[in-house]
C-alpha cells in the first residue's frame, strides 16, 4: 500500500515510471547541493534565486512568443505584397495569374527566403524534410549545377541533425566526394531515425507489459489477503483454546520447554529450573532494620575540595548598563560575538521618540552564526550613539535582530570601543583558598576529638 500511495503522490502509473521520477528528483537534489557548495547560499537564498530565474525565463519566453507572432504576421504581409505585385504584373501583360506569370527574379528570391527559413520539425521525418529541401534548393539556385546543389543540400541537412548524438557518423558520410555525399548523409540519417523509432516502440511495449504485470500482481495480492488473514485468525484461536485447557503447572512446564530450559536465573545464575523452585532465593528482611543500621553508623567527614577546581554548572552573567538617547538599557558582555546586536523592541522605542538613525548596508559576504552554528538573520544595520560607564559617547554600527527582551549584546567591536578587556588571573588565588579551607576545617576536628574524650 505504501508503494501505491507513493506512486499516486508522484503522479506515476507504473513502478518503472516511479523509478524514473525518483531518479530525476535525486539528480535535481545533487545539483542543488553542488550549487549550495559553490555559492554558499542558504536554502532561502537558493529558493529566492530560483524563483527570480524562473520569473526571468517566463518573461523571456513571453517575449520570444511575441517576436515569433510578429514574425509570422510580417511573413503573411510579405506574401500578400508579393501576390499583389504578381497580380499587377499579370494585369499589365493581360495574362492570368499563374506560377509562370511571376517574374523569374521574384521566384528565385521567394525560394531563397523559404530555403533559409526551412527548419526540420520534431514530428517531421528526414525523408519529408529532404523532399522539401530538394524542391526549394532547385528553385532558389537554378544557375547551380548538380554537384554544387548536392553540397548545399548536405550542409543544410547536417545543420538540422547536428545535435543528434550520432552526428559524428554523419561527418564521415559527408566527407565522401561526388554526388553521393548528400545521398550518403540522407541514408545515414534515415537509418538512425529508424533505429530510434524501433527503440521507442520497444520501450513503450516494455513499459506497458510492466504496468500490466504490476496491475495483475496487485490484483492477485488483494485476492489472497482475506484468505491469509482468515488462516492467521483461526491459528490464533486454536492456540488460545489449547493454552486455556492446560492447568497452571502444565502451562509453566510447557513455557519452560518452549524456552529450552537454558534460561539463566537472575538470583542464583543457575539453569534448568524455575524461579519458584530456586534454592538460592534471597531472604528479604525488614526495611526498618536496614534504616536503623544506617542511622547507627557514624557520619562520614565531608570531602575536602578546592573551590578553584570544582566549578558549578552555571556562572554569573556579565552585564553592564548603556545609555542610548537618555534611556538606560542592560547589555550583555559577550566576548564570543563579533558584532553588537540590538533588539527590535529597543529600535522601536528609539523610533517612537522621533530619533533618526543612519541606516547602513548589510554585508552579505560575511555569514554570522549563533552558538549552535545556525545562520543569524538581521533586519538592518544602523548607527547608534551610546554611552558607557565612563560617560564617553561613541557611535557604533549595530545589527538589529528579531529577539525577545530588551537586552543588548556587546560583541568584540563594542567591547574594544568601551575599553573592556578579558583578564586571566594567576593561580595564587586557588592556593589561598586551600589554606583558608584548612584553617576552617581544623577547629571542627579538635572539637570532635574533645567530645570523644569527655564520652
Cβ atoms of residues 286 and 279 within 8 Å: no
pLDDT tens-digit readout, 41-73? 777 887 888 888 888 888 888 888 889 888 888
Write the pLDDT tens digit of every residue in 139-148: 888 888 888 8
Residue 343: its pLDDT value, please? 92
The predicted model gives 236-248 an average pLDDT of: 67
Triad 20, 22, 26: Cα angle to 5°: 115
Residue that the C-alpha cell 507489459 belongs to: 209
Q: Are 252 and 244 in contact (CB under 8 A)?
A: no
Closest CA to 1 of 292, 153, 218, 191: 218
What value does the mean pLDDT of the chain take?
Answer: 74
Distance CA 106, CA 118 (A): 18
* Contact (CB, 8 A) for 408 and 330: yes
pLDDT band at 432 (very low <50, low <70, confident <90, very high): very low
Nearest CA-CA partner of 308 in 206, 139, 208, 430: 430
Contacts of 399 (CB under 8 A, 6+ apart): 339, 340, 341, 342, 368, 378, 381
Does the pLDDT value for residue 286 go beyond 50?
no
Tell me the per-residue pLDDT of 265-284, one tens digit each, with 9 for 90 and over. Answer: 666 767 666 666 676 655 54
Q: How far is CA 52 from CA 35, 49, 58, in A?
A: 15, 5, 10
Distance CA(258)–CA(247), nearest Å, equals 16
Residue extents of the structural domains in the chain = 2-78, 104-241, 319-417
Please give the Cα distance from 152 to 118 (Å, whole number): 13
CATH superfamily membership of 319-417: Acid Proteases (2.40.70.10)
Residue scoring higher pLDDT (299 or 425): 425
H or E element: which one contains 247? none
The secondary structure element, H or E, covering residue 249 is: helix 248-258
Residue with cell 537618555: 326
Burial tier of 331 (Cβ tally within 10 Å: 0-12, 13-18, 19+): buried
Q: Is the pLDDT of residue 443 over 50?
A: no
Exposure of 27 in the CB half-sphere (CA atoms within 13 A): 6
Q: pLDDT at position 107, please? A: 55
Cα torsion at 162, 163, 166, 167 (round to 10°)?
20
364-390 pLDDT, tens digit per residue, is: 778 888 877 788 888 889 999 988 877
Lowest mean pLDDT among 78-87, 99-108, 270-279: 99-108
Nearest one of 171, 150, 167, 159 to 119, comparing CA atoms: 159
The more confident residue out of 355 and 269 is: 355
CB–CB of 162/188 below 8 Å? no
Q: What integer pLDDT is reported at residue 451 of this predicted model?
A: 38
Assess whether pLDDT exceeds 60 at residue 445: no
Amino acid at each position: 500500500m505504501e508503494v501505491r500511495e507513493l506512486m499516486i503522490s508522484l503522479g506515476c502509473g507504473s513502478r518503472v515510471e516511479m523509478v524514473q521520477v525518483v531518479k530525476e528528483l535525486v539528480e535535481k537534489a545533487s545539483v542543488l547541493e553542488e550549487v549550495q557548495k559553490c555559492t554558499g547560499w542558504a536554502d532561502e537564498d537558493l529558493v529566492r534565486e530560483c524563483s527570480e530565474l524562473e520569473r526571468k525565463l517566463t518573461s523571456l519566453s513571453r517575449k520570444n512568443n511575441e517576436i515569433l507572432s510578429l514574425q509570422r504576421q510580417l511573413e503573411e504581409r510579405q506574401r500578400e505584397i508579393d501576390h499583389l505585385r504578381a497580380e499587377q504584373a499579370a494585369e499589365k501583360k493581360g495574362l492570368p495569374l499563374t506560377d509562370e506569370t511571376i517574374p523569374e527574379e521574384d521566384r528565385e528570391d521567394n525560394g531563397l527566403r523559404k530555403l533559409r527559413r526551412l527548419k526540420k520539425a520534431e514530428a517531421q521525418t528526414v525523408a519529408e524534410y529532404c523532399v522539401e529541401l530538394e524542391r526549394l534548393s532547385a528553385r532558389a539556385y537554378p544557375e547551380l549545377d548538380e554537384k554544387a546543389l548536392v553540397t548545399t543540400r548536405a550542409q543544410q541537412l547536417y545543420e538540422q541533425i547536428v545535435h543528434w548524438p550520432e552526428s559524428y557518423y554523419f561527418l564521415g558520410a559527408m566527407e565522401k566526394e561526388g554526388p553521393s555525399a548528400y545521398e550518403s548523409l540522407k541514408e545515414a540519417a534515415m537509418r538512425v531515425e529508424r533505429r530510434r523509432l524501433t527503440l521507442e516502440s520497444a520501450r513503450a511495449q516494455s513499459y506497458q507489459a510492466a504496468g500490466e504485470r504490476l496491475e495483475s500482481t496487485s490484483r492477485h495480492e488483494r485476492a489472497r489477503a482475506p484468505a491469509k488473514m482468515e488462516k492467521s485468525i483461526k491459528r490464533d484461536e486454536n492456540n488460545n483454546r489449547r493454552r486455556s485447557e492446560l492447568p497452571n503447572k502444565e502451562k509453566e512446564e510447557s513455557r519452560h520447554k518452549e524456552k529450552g530450559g537454558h534460561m539463566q536465573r537472575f538470583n542464583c545464575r543457575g539453569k534448568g529450573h524455575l524461579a519458584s523452585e530456586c534454592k538460592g532465593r534471597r531472604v528479604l528482611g525488614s526495611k526498618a532494620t536496614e534504616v536503623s543500621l544506617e542511622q547507627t553508623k557514624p557520619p562520614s567527614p565531608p570531602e575536602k575540595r578546592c573551590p578553584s577546581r570544582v566549578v558549578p554548572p552555571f556562572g554569573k552573567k556579565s552585564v553592564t548598563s548603556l545609555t542610548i538617547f537618555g534611556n538606560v538599557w542592560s547589555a550583555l558582555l559577550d566576548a564570543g560575538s563579533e558584532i553588537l546586536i540590538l533588539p527590535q523592541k529597543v529600535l522601536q522605542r528609539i523610533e517612537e521618540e522621533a530619533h533618526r538613525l543612519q541606516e547602513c548596508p548589510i554585508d552579505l559576504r560575511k555569514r554570522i552564526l549563533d552558538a549552535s552554528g545556525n545562520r543569524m538573520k538581521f533586519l538592518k544595520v544602523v548607527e547608534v550613539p551610546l554611552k558607557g560607564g565612563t560617560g564617553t559617547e561613541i557611535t557604533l554600527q549595530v545589527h538589529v535582530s528579531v529577539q525577545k527582551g530588551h537586552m543588548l549584546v556587546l560583541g568584540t567591536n563594542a567591547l574594544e570601543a568601551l575599553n573592556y578587556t578579558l583578564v586571566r588571573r594567576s593561580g595564587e588565588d586557588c592556593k589561598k583558598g586551600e589554606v583558608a579551607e584548612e584553617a576552617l576545617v581544623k577547629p571542627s576536628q579538635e572539637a570532635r576529638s574533645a567530645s570523644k574524650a569527655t564520652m
